[in-house]
């Protein structure tokens, strides 16, 4: 198969080279991957994901966590929780991996224009939301206030700590961080992510909310958003479930009538709400 | 003059928003301004709980002390929140340490004084209990969410 034909086949990975692996937390790493030629893979929407091949080990769906305006590289933040993710984060700079994608739906950046953007992330859920934050901060005049609410299990499990501090210094931006369990050296907020709502400067009627984290956390968060007056129509969630082919062929990520890989991973809450409440799913 | 300032501060605090003037006058009689420097302890576990606080500025960590371990911070209480409800429930002893992790300003309300006024005036008692019930429910929900340990479950 020629390179041109491979570009057209969503099932064929194209090569990328690991440039850098940065440790974010004890089990989470950020990989910077360069492409050796101009590729449509370098153009992505915030919220989309790639399928990353570790040759000889397996393929993984990983959200893109880098800046969409940076066309020279792709950035992924990966939590090492199994054989394949461990192999991925153990790649040495210079190693070649395979990349398919980008796939899926992105965050509603167009719909959010002229509105406040509320970003609510839990744990590694901040990774797929980071491109949306970059997008808002780069185009500050297109959006209203940016409010970032981020919760993690403990201080040492917080992602992008330096960036969180830098974002908080940006105009018209509020960044609130909490951990479920604090330690003596932690002088920030302690409590689940929903406890940050009382400190957030929200304008619910003119806001779009984007949420990513464990499903249970997202259910708690959507309740809080509704209590604060952010409508379901202006709320979006990113889902993750067993994505394998990323093209809606294999059915592994089927979620009721939807395929997470193709119809998502970002969904309007109005679409996903009846499914989130189904015990059987 | 001091009382007027205190009244405005209490009226503006989310906990007492919308309280009738008659009740506000009763509450005011039990209130005073307090400050806690960073790293001081506002109260400690086991001590008599005779006061609660409306936080105006700063941040307070609720800590559980465990022998041969560093204290565990289970929650922080910040601006606009209420610190302490042990004054409301027998045996009126604090269940946590409250550690000011920033310079903290608050309105202190004498719990014994307010309890007595609530006993005398059940309408005030009902109003105060309704407000505390809301806080207790929110904290119970947050504690359940915390117990699920969702970020660990991601594994």
pLDDT at position A11:
85
In a domain, B103, yes or no: yes
User: Cβ of B144 under 8 Å from any chain A Cβ?
Assistant: no
- Could you tell me whether strands B51-57 and B82-83 are parallel, antiparallel, or unpaired per DSSP bridges? antiparallel
Q: What is the DSSP letter of B80?
A: T
Task: Give the CATH superfamily of A3-103.
Answer: Translation factors (2.40.30.10)
pLDDT score for A186: 85
CATH number at residue B124: 2.60.120.10
- Number of structural domains in chain B: 1
Helix axes B111-120, B122-148, angle to 10 degrees: 130
CA angle A187-A31-A152, nearest 5°? 25
pLDDT value at position A235? 97
* Antiparallel, parallel or unpaired: β A116-122 and A207-212: parallel
The per-residue pLDDT for A6 is 56
- The pLDDT, as a whole number, for residue B155 is 45
Q: With contacts defined as CB-CB under 8 Å, which chain B residues touch A185?
A: none
pLDDT in tens, A110-164: 999 999 999 999 999 999 999 999 999 999 999 999 999 999 999 999 999 999 9
Closest to A34 in 3D by CA, of A6, A82, A66: A66
CATH class of segment(s) A116-238: alpha beta
Mean pLDDT value of segment B37-60: 95
Mean of per-residue pLDDT scores for chain A: 91
Domain that holds residue B58: 2-147
Q: Does B30 map to a domain? A: yes
**Is residue B104 in a domain?**
yes
pLDDT in tens, A156-212: 999 999 999 999 999 999 999 999 988 767 889 999 999 999 999 999 999 999 999
Look up the pTM and report it.
0.88
Assess B71–A contact: CB distance below 8 Å, yes or no. Answer: yes
pLDDT of B22 over the 60 cut: yes
Q: Is B74 on the interface with A (CB under 8 A)?
A: yes
Q: What is the DSSP letter of A118?
A: E
Which residue is closest to A241 within chain B, CA to CA?
B154
Domain boundaries, chain A: 3-103, 116-238
Interface touch B101/A187, C-beta < 8 Å: yes
Residue A43: band (very low, low, confident or very high) from pLDDT cuts 50, 70, 90: confident
Contact flag A192-B73 (C-beta cutoff 8 Å): no
* B154 in any annotated domain: no
Domain assignment of residue B38, yes or no? yes
Q: Is residue B57 part of a domain?
A: yes
Please check the confidence at residue A20 and state whether its pLDDT lies above 50.
Answer: yes
Q: State pLDDT tens for residues A200-232.
A: 999 999 999 999 999 989 999 999 999 999 999
Per cent of chain A over pLDDT 70 is 94
Q: What is the pLDDT of residue A278?
A: 77
Using a CB–CB cutoff of 8 Å, tell me whether A156 touches chain B: no
Judged against a pLDDT cut of 80, whether residue B3 lies above it is answered with: no
In a domain, B114, yes or no: yes
What is residue A114's predicted lDDT score, i.e. its pLDDT? 96
Is residue A152 within 8 A of residue A193, CB to CB? The reply is no
């Amino acid at each position: 198969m020629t390179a041109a034909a491979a570009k057209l086949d969503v099932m064929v990975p194209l090569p990328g080279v690991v440039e850098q692996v940065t440790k974010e937390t004890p089990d989470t790493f950020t990989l910077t991957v360069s492409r050796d030629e101009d590729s449509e893979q370098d153009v992505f929407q915030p919220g989309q994901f790639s399928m990353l091949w570790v040759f000889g080990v397996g393929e993984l769906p990983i959200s893109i966590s880098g800046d969409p305006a940076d066309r020279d590289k792709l950035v992924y933040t990966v939590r090492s929780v199994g054989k394949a993710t461990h192999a991925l984060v153990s790649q040495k700079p210079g190693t070649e991996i395979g990349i398919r994608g980008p796939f899926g739906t992105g965050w509603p950046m167009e719909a959010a224009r002229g509105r406040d953007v509320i970003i609510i992330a839990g744990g590694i859920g901040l990774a797929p939301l980071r491109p949306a934050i970059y997008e808002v901060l780069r185009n500050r005049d297109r959006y209203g206030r940016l409010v970032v609410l981020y919760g993690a299990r403990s201080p040492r499990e917080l992602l992008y700590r330096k960036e969180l501090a830098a974002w908080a210094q940006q105009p018209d931006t509020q960044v609130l961080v909490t951990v479920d369990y604090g330690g003596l050296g932690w002088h920030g907020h302690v409590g689940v992510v929903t406890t940050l709502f009382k400190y957030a400067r929200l304008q619910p009627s003119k806001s779009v909310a984007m949420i990513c984290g464990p499903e249970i956390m997202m259910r708690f968060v959507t309740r809080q958003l509704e209590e604060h007056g952010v409508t379901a129509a202006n709320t979006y969630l990113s889902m993750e479930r067993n994505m394998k082919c990323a093209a809606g062929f294999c059915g592994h990520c089927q979620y009721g009538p939807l395929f997470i890989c193709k119809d998502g991973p970002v969904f309007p809450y109005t679409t996903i709400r009846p499914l989130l409440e189904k015990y059987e799913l | 003059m001091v009382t007027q300032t205190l009244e405005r501060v209490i009226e503006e605090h989310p906990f007492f928003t919308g309280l009738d003037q008659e009740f506000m006058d009763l509450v005011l009689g039990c209130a005073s301004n307090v400050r806690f420097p960073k790293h001081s302890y506002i109260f400690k576990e086991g001590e008599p709980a005779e006061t609660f606080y409306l936080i105006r500025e700063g941040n307070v960590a609720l800590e559980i002390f465990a022998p041969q371990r560093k204290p565990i911070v289970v929650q922080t209480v910040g601006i606009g929140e209420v610190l302490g409800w042990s004054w409301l429930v027998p045996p009126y002893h604090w269940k946590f340490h409250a550690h000011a992790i920033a310079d903290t300003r608050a309105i202190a309300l004498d719990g014994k004084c307010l309890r007595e006024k609530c006993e005398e005036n059940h309408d005030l008692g009902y109003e105060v209990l309704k407000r505390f019930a809301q806080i207790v429910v929110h904290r119970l929900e947050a504690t359940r969410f915390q117990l699920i340990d969702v970020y660990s479950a991601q594994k």
